[in-house]
Structure 1
């Protein structure tokens, strides 16, 4: 989809008008009647204006904060797409503040997204968006341009997640991410299997043992001038390119058939790094992406195996479908060497997350003495619409990970599955003396990352959840 442009002349294509609850109606003859219809139907209204292109009127909904503007614009985008329009002009509400204008652009572009790469004869779903405001201030233009970038990298992330598994095995996915990252100005380093072995990443290598496709470990870094010596923010993303469950095989329906999305955490981290570079955020950020698929090959790791992790911790494998935490653990251990300011990992980690919080809210987990970090993530979610809710991490949850033969088991039983997965990860964020090595939070976005049905500006399939959340957190750091 092409970028957003400002327009200082006539309307181009379909005109989009957002009808606010209060304030003056826009200076469009049909606005009053359209508002009356929209109030009754709660749906967008098309007015076939005489002598000019159609006008789409959309009413604000009841969502909180800026989400009501995003959802309204997404609703309009869906209607514009149904008209097969190639261009649309967004009329901003009178004296709209920059954050409202940005939300409208973000919502429209996210709502217009379609994944059509494998649809025979389908044209690319591109609607060129114009903003009608010839007198826009610098702050308004800057806000809209930033919103355009956020939407663009979120849609790119959606493409990565929606891509079929056979087209994104680790080597191919690493190349695809590296190409976009380097184009944005990021430093990229890709470790092959030999380097991963040399680094002692036994969790990643164990998960990969049943695969015909070797693993990769990708490091992305954004360090603008003046930040090179700063302690970095480190983002870690689970990047399991396809998950059968390994020898602990998943059922197909409503499980394995969606596992191309098991790299959505890594995709969100990659999208956030590319976005940070394109936005020019003055903060040093490192992204770590451990990549493998998980298949039941002849040499696949098995329940009862013991893996020696990057940190030296031994882990008894009791379920090969709890694989994501193994490769994340290696990355979190490696993060210690970077001297991070703080670390956040994003992962499609547990089905229990969806049982607890549903498909619209991710779980965020932090240590009990770092509740402020979890609260910061929650507030970023409220601002962006990538909603997160904290779950507790009391010390007793780690007791469920005890093993008879190794330092840890990779599963903690049925109870509190999302939390015990977080407790497993937390173990690898500590130094050799058992003390926390850095501030850390874990975001389990298993259900929000890939949807069974669309809502708001989020399509069925890959939602891009987490990209704008992470960019908001990075922007907050950049602002000091």
Structure 2
């Protein structure tokens, strides 16, 4: 989707208002104005004025008491507008903000663009099925060049994240994921290096290697870096993303229906941190950022690791494996230990880690926990509300650590039947010695059906929250 500022606004147009009196400032006939007023009184958020060869749309949003709710309503209006533009086969549209909210056009277009996403790579009739809209122009008073560039970068990144997560294992192996990340690095301008299986064996990154034992395909460990010349952080912020490109559960096999059949999305964390790096490089954020992606499939092959195995992790910690389907924490643990080499200011991991997180908060929030300072957590909460990618914090009390103690090793990779999201986080905490945040995105990374601007399939939920957090970092 191409975004631009219109030199001379013309053609199919969208006018955003937040007060019914603003209709009189638009060039509508008396009859059209009366019609629009009546539609608004009937709680219609989008009104179409048909001029035959040109379609005019009025987007009405009555401001909410909380600004973050108004922003989200604007995004949802954009998603609803996308359906109407598609139904009319409109290719280009001009957006004009006539309301008092200065970012109204930004948020409407944000929702519009994200709702317009499609994954048609494997469709024989992709051209026929493609949505018509491909260009959006803003009236020059409705957005700044800085905000336009930011919106373009974020939307492009979300498309890339969704594409990666929607790809099947038949294409997106661990090695292919590393290649795709490399391609995005070249496009956006961040550095990428990849550690292959031989190097990982030499390093004894045994958590990742253990999960990979059931596969005939090698694992990868991808390192991304964005290092501007005038970074405001002396020590880097490190992002870590779980890169299980397919999860069968291993020998602790998942059922297929509504479980294994969706497990191509188990690398949602890896895709998300890649998207964050893409935006950071495109906007040249003044932050030194590093991202780590440990990647493999989890398969029940003839040499697969088994329940009862004891693995000596990259850190030297021994782990008793009681469930091979708790593989995400095994690969993340090695990556979190690797992050120590950077002496990081903050480490943030994203992972589709536990069904327990999804059961607790469904598909409306991320589960968060960590040891970062309260000010960091507070800013993340604010960013979550700003972008309507909310999070709820779980505790990391010592009692949860007792639940993952092993009789024969330092740790076991699962706790009991309760508190599963927290015991998974507590397991990860063992491999950190720096300020750290963990986001379990199991419930929000993938949707079965479209929900407003979050299309069916991958959502990239969490990316906009992270960009908001980084844009305000140090302020």
Shift of 1:66: 1.4
* 414, 417, 420: which one aligns with 1:414: 417
- CA contact 1:239–1:264 (8 Å) conserved in 2: yes
How far off is 1:148 after superposition?
A: 1.8
CA displacement 1:167-219 (0-9 Å, x = unmatched): 10001111011111122111111010011112221110001000111000000
Secondary structure at the counterpart of residue 109 of structure 2: helix
TM-score (norm 2): 0.93
Q: How far off is 1:94 after superposition? A: 4.1
Give 2:137's aligned residue. 131
Structure 1 residues 21 and 167: alpha-carbon distance in aligned structure 2, compared to 1, 3 A threshold: farther
Equivalent residues in 2 for 1:278-427 (5 A)?
278-367=282-371, 370-427=373-430
> Which residue number in structure 1 is paired with residue 61 of structure 2?
60
**Deviation (angstroms), 1:21:** 4.4
Distance in structure 1 (CA, Å) of the matches to 2:434 and 2:21: 48
Structure 1 residues 416 and 23: alpha-carbon distance in aligned structure 2, compared to 1, 3 A threshold: farther
Q: Which moved more, 1:58-67 or 1:401-410?
A: 58-67
Normalising by structure 1, report the TM-score. Answer: 0.92
Answer yes or no: is the 8 Å Cα contact 1:365–1:374 preserved in 2: no
Distance 1:22 1:121, change over 3 A: same
| Alpha-carbon distance in structure 2 between the residues aligned to 1:125 and 1:205 | 42
Q: C-alpha separation between the residues in 1 aligned to 2:15 and 2:78?
A: 9
Q: CA deviation at 1:37?
A: 2.1
Partner of 1:119: 123
Question: Quick one: which of 146, 158, 173 aligns to 1:169?
Answer: 173
User: What do residues 436-480 of structure 1 show as CA deviations (whole Å, max 9, x unaligned)?
Assistant: x21101000101100122222111111111111111122122x54
User: CA contact under 8 A between 1:56 and 1:79: conserved in structure 2?
Assistant: no
Structure 1 distance, partners of 2:91, 2:274, is 29
Q: CA separation of 1:48/1:101 partners in 2, compared to 1, >3 Å: closer, same or farther?
A: closer
Question: 1:327 & 1:23 partners in 2: Cα distance?
Answer: 58
Q: Shift in Å at residue 376 of structure 1?
A: 2.5
Is the alpha carbon distance of 1:109 and 1:35 closer, same or farther for their aligned partners in structure 2, counting shifts above 3 Å? Answer: farther
Deviation at residue 226 of structure 1 after TM alignment = 2.8
Closer/same/farther in 2, CA of residues 352 and 225 from structure 1, 3 Å limit: same
- State whether residues 96 and 142 of structure 2, in contact with CA within 8 Å, keep that contact through their aligned partners in structure 1: no
Q: Distance in 2 between matches of 1:294 and 1:452?
A: 23
- In structure 2, list runs of 5 or more residues that go unmatched: none
Q: Using the alignment, how far apart are the partners of 2:332 and 2:221 within structure 1?
A: 11
SS across alignment from 1:414? coil
Runs of 4+ with deviation above 4 angstroms: none
- In the alignment, what sits opposite 1:441? 437
Once the two structures are TM-superposed, the CA of residue 162 in structure 1 deviates from its matched residue by 0.8
Aligned partner (choices 201, 204, 213) of residue 200 of structure 1: 204
Query: How well do the aligned residues superpose, as a CA RMSD in angstroms?
Result: 2.0
Deviation readout 1:396-420 (Å, 9 max, x if unpaired):
1011001111100000111111111
Superposed, 1:6-155 pairs within 5 Å as 6-12=5-11, 14-21=12-19, 24-25=22-23, 27-29=26-28, 30-40=32-42, 42=44, 44-50=46-52, 52-60=53-61, 64-94=69-99, 96-97=101-102, 99-123=103-127, 124-125=130-131, 127-135=133-141, 140-155=144-159
- Please tell me whether residue 464 in structure 1 is matched to residue 436 in structure 2: no
Q: Could you tell me how far apart the structure 1 residues matched to 2:45 and 2:94 are?
A: 19
Q: Which runs of 5+ in 1 are unaligned?
A: 430-436
Superposed displacement of residue 342, structure 1: 0.2
The CA deviation at 1:19 is 3.7
Deviates more, 1:31-40 or 1:201-210: 31-40
Give the match's secondary structure for 1:24: helix
Using a 3 Å threshold, how does the CA distance of structure 1 residues 94 and 371 change in structure 2: closer, same or farther? Answer: closer
Contact 1:105 1:148 survives alignment (8 Å) = no
CA distance, structure 1, for counterparts of residue 403 and residue 327 of structure 2: 17
- Measured in 1, the distance between the counterparts of 2:378 and 2:358 equals 20
In 2, Cα distance between the equivalents of 1:229 and 1:44? 44
Q: Which moved more, 1:34-43 or 1:301-310?
A: 34-43
With over 3 angstroms needed to count, the CA separation of the structure-2 counterparts of 1:47 and 1:294, relative to structure 1, is same
Flag the 1:321–1:146 CA change in 2: closer, same or farther, 3 A: same
Q: Which residue, out of 185, 190, 194, partners 1:190? A: 194
With 275-284 and 376-385 compared, the bigger mean Cα shift is at 376-385
